[in-house]
Copies of this chain bind each other. A is one copy, B any other.
Amino acid sequence: MPEFMDVHRGMLGITPEQLLEAHNADLAIQDDEKVDFKHAWGDPTTGTVFCLSEAPDAGAVKRIHERSGHPADEVYEVPVQA
């Protein structure tokens, strides 16, 4: 299954509780699109959040994030890893 890194901007001051809530909202519906959100990293100072997932395609990642209320600003397929 392809892997994706997506980026959210503008989440200034995000707290651990808020990130967990957002992540759990994704997990609750991710099976609808066969997405598996694996980890999320947040920088409260710049409001930037990165999410790593496995998914059939980038559209599936986008749709889950949109439905759970935090659309991604960028989604990258990351087949090259080290």
Contacts and interface: CB of A to CB of B under 8 A. Distances in A.
In this complex, the interface size class of chain A, counting residues with CB under 8 Å from chain B, is 20 to 34
A76 B42 CA distance: 8
Contact of A39 (B15, B24, B82): B82
Contacts of A24: 82
Given A46-B76, A50-B50, A76-B48, A3 B41 contact: yes
Interface of A: 3, 5, 14-16, 19-20, 22-24, 39-46, 48, 50, 52, 76-82
Given A20-B82, A39-B82, 4 more contacts: A3-B41, A5-B43, A40-B82, A42-B81
26 contacts: A5-B41, A5-B50, A14-B80, A15-B80, A16-B80, A16-B82, A19-B80, A19-B81, A19-B82, A20-B82, A23-B82, A24-B82, A40-B81, A40-B82, A41-B52, A41-B76, A41-B78, A41-B80, A41-B81, A42-B79, A42-B81, A42-B82, A43-B76, A43-B78, A43-B80, A45-B77
